[in-house]
Structure 1
Amino acid sequence: MDQERRYMNPYRALRNKYYRNFWVVQSISLIGTWIDTTLRGWVAVNMFAENKASGFIGLIAFLKGFPSVFFSPVAGVLIDWFGPKNILLYSQVIDAVNAFIMAYLVWKGLLSPYVLLALSLAMGITSKFYLPSRNTFISNIVPKELLPNALALHSMIFNVARMIGPTIAGFIVKSYGLQVGFIVNAISFVPLIVVLFFIPDNYSSSSNVSFKRFFLDLRDGIRYVIKNDVLSRTFIGLTMYSLFGMPFGMLMQAFVKSVVKYDILGYSLIMGMMGVGAFIGANVVASINSKRLITLREDFLLLIIGLSILAASFQPKLVPISAFIVGACQSSFFNITNSRTQLLSPSDMKGRTISLYSFINTGGSPTGTFVLGLLGNVLGVKNVYILSGIILLFFSFIRLINLVNSTKSRTTTF
């Protein structure tokens, strides 16, 4: 009876001890990650003149996402072979080392654009293993009926971190300097790495491991997604949002500097508003019954996001409000699509389907940011925002028209 209720306790997954422990230390790590993201973006935007900054930011984003072309599908097979906990642990250790290197180079004044690009590329590679392994790991430590709620709670802390991380970063820079912010991020990995050792790993490694089997398993994962109409439709929507919606936040440093005319504190507050919206959106989604959640149409969210991006483009003073709305819709969008992907995937295929999901998400958004960033150098960041907003509006409008027509067709047939 409880499972049939439309709305439920949004924090119910925290009753699971192992998930609760993981959730707490991930909260700490994610705050550090957003401090790092804010500071790297600000370092990048100040390395070049305004007419070249957006292109360089786009290049950094591209290097973070480009490895997904090679490593996301690989990560899915390795997760299904060796278990998500091991892959997750190794990726976090490497990211911690990357953060310490960044702190040292900034402290010594040795950071150059080329080194920043190299470190961004390294982060891009590890993220392709981190994201699918994290999501698959969560599905291993919570019951299936709690999985959508656990994913929503994880999205919640991600967006709380996005809300307070940039703000903390701004004050750290003003008070102590850039290198301290990077050190804080490096230290934030330690609790997560330690706790992972104490969470039981119930995964049994595959005995059928071979070079030939790798490509067969990879092919089977891709075929499964293509043949499943619901998942293929979900992944098409995810692709469009990753390419044209995610750059709204990823190019925000350049937009704030050249259009809104704010400093790093102003940028931090705007990103904080995006995080507040995402937190609220995650809470709403977390309270929805899992059976109802995966049937919701995310096209309405894409429509609202497109309108919000256009509002920010034509009225820069509305950027904080637009950021709040985009944050709420984005959080809801990813929770719906992520939960649907995991719940519709069999256990022996989950690592591969989630890795393909991550491939589109983490590969599409940097690619879109890179292309739109280069266009921003030519057309201006404001005009690029207008273009992306129009594309999202057109796509969501077409999808909603098709939904209405298909509904009418079924009604007429009946």
Structure 2
Amino acid sequence: MVDQPRSSVGSHPDEEQVNRTEVSTSDTRGGMFRSLRERNYRYYASGQVVSLTGTWMQRAAQDWLVLELTGGSPAALGVAVALQFLPTLLFTLWAGVVADRFDKRRVLIATQSALGGCGLVLGLLDVTGVAVLWHVYVLCFVLGCFAAVDAPVRQSFVVEMVGPKQLTNAVALNSMTFNLARIVGPAIAGVLITAIGTGWVFLLNGISSAAVVGGLLLMDVAALHRSEPAPKERGQLRAGLRYVLGRPDLLVVLALVFFVSTFGMNFENSFAVIARNVFGRDADGYGLLITMLAVGTLSGAALAARRSGRGGPRMRLLLVGAAVFGLLEAGASLMPTYELFAGALVPVGIAVMTFTTTANATVQLSVEPTMRGRVMGLYMLLFLGGKPLGGLASGWLAELLGARWPILLGGLVSLAAAVVGAAVLAVRRRGVAQTS
């Protein structure tokens, strides 16, 4: 049996509290795809394969459309990305309150339908030849708003589909799906943009959202592992933040997530500069770097799915994953040739996926069910919210010191964050042991 996490604001959790979930042998049989034994999760995962591929197709087509409409302006492309990202900072924490108070499945049906609608609208504007830049900007912001609500609800819904025993495995499988779509989606989009144009790619993405909505509609509601929704009351967002502040173990995990994602995971911007300015490669050389990283992250997700059969997430694995990622990233930045740099990205991808899948499952399994949505809202805010800061820092460092420095310093910051996190937990364990 799985012991539900019983932590509270007044408790003194440490590393062992995060590791409280125990998985019996009977719960870990079935190989790396055992979460798919859950009928509801099979429906969801099948829809996600189609929908996420469409999402990555739209991202590639959207970038290309902006460049076409502006004569190749990088600044205009940056505005589009910022407008799509800004709602994450504005609404993600409140979306966590929505996840705790309302039926997550119904919320996801609404958000996924709306996300698909954005693709259909942009596609219709494009194929009819009336799309202009401000249309793209408006739809980027609207899409970002729905995505900001969708993210914490979707993350916290996984445990309702598979239960606590299979959460770690399901998180790893979700990561596999995401990274597979990240490889396949842009490749398909590149072919289709050339063959039929960007507008039809947007329309296909809009249609693809029907797959995940259909999966949600077909679910057996009675089989969901639901917890009691949080009661309607004032100050629920503040209550969630106080809960996290009362959990030093969670603070360490969330701080690690922020530093690694903000400074260590600015791959796209840094790789483009390295490919062009360090190794003299064109766009195809940059694309190969992204592909090699994706191969690593896909492999890391597969390893995480297989490893999840050995038990729940462990704080030690989280800290080691962050430290190893930092070391490997820093080492990759020093590779003297393009081929060696590209090859080094595969283990970097494996390490970063080990960290991210462990962090996600650790947070979800160590919080009260009624707080899970709000905590995951904060998790997603920290995971994504530092991207603008990291992007600005990497650009400034590359301009000032050279293209390799953002990767080198990002790795060292990740390593330092893991070391400090381990030291904080060690000091707290000793303090709790002395007072008990």
Q: TM-score, normalised by structure 2?
A: 0.79
Return the alpha-carbon distance in structure 1 between the equivalents of residues 100 and 56 of structure 2: 29
CA deviations 1:330-384 (Å, max 9, x no partner) are 2221210111111111111111111111111122234423554466567665544
Distance 1:326 1:125, change over 3 A: farther
Distance 1:407 1:260, change over 3 A: farther
**Deviation of 1:259 (Å):** 5.1
Distance 1:280 1:189, change over 3 A: same
Return the alpha-carbon distance in structure 1 between the equivalents of residues 78 and 178 of structure 2: 22
**Which stretch of the first structure deviates more once superposed, 194-203 or 86-95?**
194-203
Aligned residue in 2 for 1:230: 249
**Deviation of 1:14 (Å):** 0.6
Aligned residue in 2 for 1:247: 266
Verify the 8 A CA contact 2:120 2:203 in the aligned structure 1.
yes
Return the alpha-carbon distance in structure 1 between the equivalents of residues 230 and 241 of structure 2: 22
Aligned residue in 2 for 1:67: 87
Return the alpha-carbon distance in structure 1 between the equivalents of residues 393 and 115 of structure 2: 26
**Deviation of 1:200 (Å):** 3.4
**Deviation of 1:21 (Å):** 1.2
**Deviation of 1:238 (Å):** 0.4
One-letter code aligned to 2:116: A
Return the alpha-carbon distance in structure 2 between the equivalents of residues 149 and 10 of structure 1: 7
Distance 1:168 1:39, change over 3 A: same
Return the alpha-carbon distance in structure 2 between the equivalents of residues 268 and 181 of structure 1: 20
Aligned residue in 1 for 2:303: 284
**Deviation of 1:206 (Å):** 5.2
Return the alpha-carbon distance in structure 1 between the equivalents of residues 78 and 176 of structure 2: 26
**Deviation of 1:18 (Å):** 1.1
One-letter code aligned to 2:376: I
**Which stretch of the first structure deviates more once superposed, 109-118 or 80-89?**
109-118
Aligned residue in 1 for 2:46: 24
Return the alpha-carbon distance in structure 2 between the equivalents of residues 110 and 377 of structure 1: 38
The answer for unaligned runs of 5 or more in structure 2 is 2-22
Aligned residue in 2 for 1:3: 24
Return the alpha-carbon distance in structure 2 between the equivalents of residues 346 and 177 of structure 1: 48
Aligned residue in 1 for 2:168: 148
Q: Which aligned pairs between 1:303-382 and structure 2 lie closer than 5 A?
A: 303-315=323-335, 317=338, 318-373=340-395, 382=404
Q: Which aligned pairs between 1:6-405 and structure 2 lie closer than 5 A?
A: 9-43=31-65, 53=74, 59-107=79-127, 114-201=134-221, 208-209=231-232, 213=233, 215-249=234-268, 252-253=271-272, 256=275, 262=281, 265-287=284-306, 288-289=308-309, 291-315=311-335, 317=338, 318-373=340-395, 382-399=404-421
Verify the 8 A CA contact 2:252 2:421 in the aligned structure 1.
no
Verify the 8 A CA contact 2:254 2:379 in the aligned structure 1.
yes
**Which stretch of the first structure deviates more once superposed, 253-262 or 178-187?**
253-262
CA deviations 1:226-247 (Å, max 9, x no partner) are 1112111000000101211222
Identity of matched residues, %: 26
Aligned residue in 1 for 2:13: none
Distance 1:375 1:104, change over 3 A: farther
One-letter code aligned to 2:147: S
Distance 1:260 1:367, change over 3 A: same
Q: TM-score, normalised by structure 1?
A: 0.83
**Deviation of 1:34 (Å):** 1.7
**Which stretch of the first structure deviates more once superposed, 21-30 or 373-382?**
373-382
Verify the 8 A CA contact 1:166 1:272 in the aligned structure 2.
no
Verify the 8 A CA contact 2:264 2:413 in the aligned structure 1.
no
SS at match of 2:218: coil
Count of aligned positions: 407
One-letter code aligned to 2:250: L
Return the alpha-carbon distance in structure 2 between the equivalents of residues 117 and 314 of structure 1: 38
SS at match of 1:351: helix
Verify the 8 A CA contact 1:77 1:351 in the aligned structure 2.
yes
SS at match of 1:297: helix
Verify the 8 A CA contact 1:248 1:309 in the aligned structure 2.
no
Return the alpha-carbon distance in structure 2 between the equivalents of residues 64 and 245 of structure 1: 22
One-letter code aligned to 1:324: V
Return the alpha-carbon distance in structure 2 between the equivalents of residues 378 and 295 of structure 1: 37
CA RMSD, Structure 1 to Structure 2 (Å):
3.7
**Deviation of 1:207 (Å):** 8.8
Distance 1:183 1:19, change over 3 A: same
Aligned residue in 1 for 2:7: none
Verify the 8 A CA contact 1:149 1:286 in the aligned structure 2.
yes
Distance 1:151 1:252, change over 3 A: same
**Deviation of 1:85 (Å):** 1.0
CA deviations 1:283-326 (Å, max 9, x no partner) are 21112346442333333333343344445545461443243233
**Which stretch of the first structure deviates more once superposed, 79-88 or 181-190?**
181-190
Return the alpha-carbon distance in structure 2 between the equivalents of residues 347 and 407 of structure 1: 25
**Which stretch of the first structure deviates more once superposed, 28-37 or 319-328?**
319-328
Distance 1:324 1:6, change over 3 A: farther
SS at match of 1:298: helix
One-letter code aligned to 2:123: A
**Deviation of 1:277 (Å):** 1.4
Distance 1:178 1:4, change over 3 A: same
One-letter code aligned to 1:223: R
